[in-house]
Amino acid sequence: MPDMILYLEARNWLYLIEVVTSHGPMTPKRIHELQDMLRDCPAGKVFVTAFPTFAEFRKHMRHIAWETEVWIAEKPEHLIHFNGDRFLGPRP
């Protein structure tokens, strides 16, 4: 399971959040594992990696999966979106 799961009922979205210091970032492999684990869950899934600092983010940046979100505690009011056609939302 990810470190945190938040559910936004109004949109039927699950935010699956990994804290990089416990399990590592949301890599393509990790996303595949989570999607497989939650294959029967009808909610849309939003994959997020949480970092304590920009320095920690830079260490892991090349391993982060595309079309995921990044949150950094040093700037909690911002998100970094890793490409894709949609910002902050589940993918089909």
Q: Which CATH class is domain 4-81?
A: alpha beta
Distance CA 4, CA 84 (A): 23
Burial string for 48-80 (b: 16+ CB within 10 Å, else e) reads bbbbeeeebbeebeeebbebbbbbbeeeeeeee
Q: Are 15 and 8 in contact (CB under 8 A)?
A: yes
Mean pLDDT in runs of 10 for the chain (92 residues)? 95 96 93 95 96 96 94 94 70 64
Q: What is the pLDDT of residue 84?
A: 65
Cβ pair 15, 46 in contact under 8 A: yes
pLDDT score, position 86: 61
pTM above 0.85, yes or no: yes
Res 91: pLDDT: 64
Where exactly are the structural domains of the chain? 4-81
